[in-house]
Structure 1
Amino acid sequence: MAADMLVVQELNKTFSTPSGTVIALDRIGLQVKQGELITIIGPSGCGKSTLLKIVAGLDTDYEGSVRLNGKQIDGPSIEKGFIFQEPRLFPWLTVEKNIAGNLSLKKPDIREKVTELIELVRLTGFEKAYPRELSGGMAQRVAIARALLRNPDVLLLDEPFGALDAFTRSHMQEVLLDIWQKNRTTMLFVTHDLDEAVFLGNRVVMMNPRPGHIRKVLTIDLPYPRKRASQSFQELRHHVLKEFEKVEEPAIDHGAGI
C-alpha cells in the first residue's frame, strides 16, 4: 500500500475577532496517499478553505503538524499548486504565456510542456488567445494548466467551478477527471456541492462548523466514469446528505450547478 504523501495531525487554527477568539479548525486529522483525489465538503464557515490554505503554505499561523512528503509545510512552494475560484489570469498575456508564467517559451522543454498541457486541458487552437476571448470554463482550464506546469506533488482546488453555469461546471468536472486519470496528480478539492463531491472523489471528507472539524471520511468505491442517475450514485449521495442532516443548519448545496 502506498505511503501517505500528506499527513495532517492535531491541526488547530484560531482567529482573533473584536468579540473574542474564534476556533476555525479543531483537531483536524487527515492522511492522503499519493494519487488520491479527495473532495472536502461542508457548510459555509466550517474551515474548508482555511484547511486548504494551510496545506498550501499560505497560512502558517496554526498549531499541529502538516507534513508533505515527510517535511513540515512552512510556506508556499512549487510542490503545491493552488487553484482559486476565479482563474486570476494576466489579461495582457496569451493562453500559452499565462501557462508559462515567468518561464520562457523560447526554451524548447518549456514550450513542449506548455503544448502538452494545452492539449491535456483541451485548449488546442487557443494558444494565442487572450483571457477576454475565453469563456469562464476555458479560463479556468488555463489556470489548471498553469498550476500543473511545475509538476506539483499536490494540487489544491478551492471551489474552482463554483462560479460556472451548470453545463460548464459539469463539463469541467469531466475535464478534471480526465487530467487526474492521465497524470494521477494528488488533488484536494474543496466544494459546497454534494453531487460534485461524490462525482469526483475517491474519498469525501465531510466537515462541520463551530468549530470546524471532520465529521466523517467516506470512501467512494464507484468506478469511473460515474453516472449521476445510477442507483449506486444516488444511494451514496443520500448517505452523505443524511450525515449532514444530523447537524443543525447544514447549509449544504444539494446539487447546485448540476
Structure 2
Amino acid sequence: MGATLLEIGALNKTFETGKGPVRALHDVNLDIAEGEFVTVIGPSGCGKSTLLRIVAGLDTGYSGMVRLAGKEIAGPGIDKGFIFQEHRLFPWLTVEKNIASDLSLRDKEVRRKVDELIELVKLKGFEKAYPRELSGGMSQRVAIARALLRKPKILLLDEPFGALDAFTRAHMQEALLDIWRTNKTTMIFVTHDIDEAVFLGNRVVILKPRPGEISAIVPIGLPYPRKKATPSFQELRLKVLSRFEQAEDETFTDGAGI
C-alpha cells in the first residue's frame, strides 16, 4: 500500500430531528492508505452511510478532521467517486453516454477513456444499450465505470450490491476486485454482509451501534483471489462475526436512528 490518503480524526456528527439532536457518529478515527480496499460493517443505523457521505463531501456540519490527500474535504468533487445501492443511471442515455455523463464522446480523449472503462467493466458489445436492457449487475458496472471516468482518488461504495441476487452479487464481488487490482483506486465499501466484507477488504472496520464509533478494525491477511469455503477464510469470518456481535452489544440510545 502507498502513503496515507484519507485521514479521519475525532469525527463527530449530530443531526437535528423533531425529537431533538441525534448523534450519528462519535469520535471516529481512521487512516486509509493509497490503494487500500477497506470494508465497513455495523448494525443498521450506526452511521456507515453518514461516514461515506462526509468523506464524499455530501454531508457537512460535523466536528473533527477529514482530509483527502492532505486537504480538508470541503464539498463534493471529481477526486471522490460515489456508488449508491441503486445505479442511478439516466434511462434516456446509452451505456457509453451514461459513462461519459456530461462530457462529449466527440472528444477523442473522452472517447478513449470511455472505451477503456467499457473494457475494464466487461461491457464490450453493450455500448449502445439502454439501462432498461441491462441486468442489475450490468447497470452497477456502468455506474462504477462512470465514477472512475475522472480518475477519483477514492471510490466510495454504499452497499452497491445489496439489491442483487446471491449469484449476481458473488459475480460482482469478483468483478469489483478485478477493477480494483487493475485500476488501483482506493476504495471504501459499506456492507451488511460479513462474508462480503471479508472477501473484499484488506481491513474490515466494525462500527458500534449509534452513535457510530469504531469498535474494531480486523486486518484480512488472505491473498487474492479468496475462496469463501477455505478454512482460513472461515476462521477470519468467525473472528469478524465475533467482533461484530461484541459491537452490537455495545448499545446506546438517544433518539431516533439515522
Scaled to the shorter chain, the TM-score interval is over 0.9
Q: CA-atom RMSD, angstroms?
A: 1.1
Is residue 37 of structure 1 aligned with residue 59 of structure 2?
no
1:8 corresponds to? 8
Distance across 2 between alignment mates of 1:177 and 1:141:
12
Q: Report the residue type matching 1:5 in the other structure.
A: L
Partner Cα separation in structure 1 for residue 120 and residue 249 of structure 2: 40
Equivalent residue, structure 1, for 2:26: 26
- Aligned positions of 1:1-258 closer than 5 A: 2-248=2-248
**Residue 249 of structure 1: how far off its partner (Å):** 6.1
Match for residue 254 of structure 1? none
Alpha-carbon shift at residue 248 of structure 1 (Å): 4.4
- SS of the residue 1:246 aligns to: helix
- Mean Cα deviation higher: 207-216 or 112-121: 207-216
Deviations 1:175-217 (A, max 9, x none): 0000000111000000010000000000000011132101011
What percent of counterpart residues are identical? Answer: 70
**Where do 5+ consecutive residues of structure 2 fail to align?**
251-258
Give the whole-Å Cα distance in 1 for the aligned partners of 2:178 and 2:137: 15
Q: TM-score, normalised by structure 2?
A: 0.95
| Partner SS, residue 119 of structure 1 | helix
Cα distance in structure 1, aligned partners of 2:94 and 2:108: 18
Mark the CA change 1:248 to 1:190 in structure 2 (over 3 Å): closer, same or farther.
closer
Report the Cα offset of residue 19 of structure 1.
2.1
Q: Using the alignment, how far apart are the partners of 1:49 and 1:109 within structure 2?
A: 34
2:88 maps to a residue whose letter is R
- Residue type of the alignment partner of 1:48: K
TM-score by length of 1: 0.95
Q: CA deviation at 1:247?
A: 4.1
Aligned partner of 1:256 in structure 2 is none
**Structure 2: distance between partners of 1:94 and 1:248:** 43
| 1:61 aligned partner, one-letter code | G
Q: Secondary structure at the match of 2:198?
A: helix
**Displacement of 1:15 after TM fit?**
1.0
Q: Which residue identity is paired with 1:200?
A: L
Q: Which amino acid aligns with 2:231?
A: Q
**Separation in 2 of the partners of 1:245 and 1:29?**
21
Distance 2:168 2:181 in 1: 20
User: 2: CA distance between counterparts of 1:36 and 1:247?
Assistant: 24
CA distance in 2, matches of 1:169, 1:145: 17
The number of residue pairs the alignment matches comes to: 250
How far apart, CA to CA, are the structure 1 residues paired with 2:247 and 2:143? Answer: 35
Q: Using the alignment, how far apart are the partners of 2:211 and 2:132 within structure 1?
A: 41
Runs ≥4 residues deviating over 6 A = none
Tell me the distance in 1 between the aligned counterparts of 2:76 and 2:4.
20
Offset of residue 18 of structure 1 = 2.2
Q: Quick one: distance in 1 between partners of 2:220 and 2:247?
A: 22
Unaligned runs of 5+ in 1: 251-258
1:47-82 CA deviation, whole Å, 9 max, x = no partner? Answer: 000000000000111001100011000100000000
- Structure-2 separation of matches of 1:182 and 1:71: 26
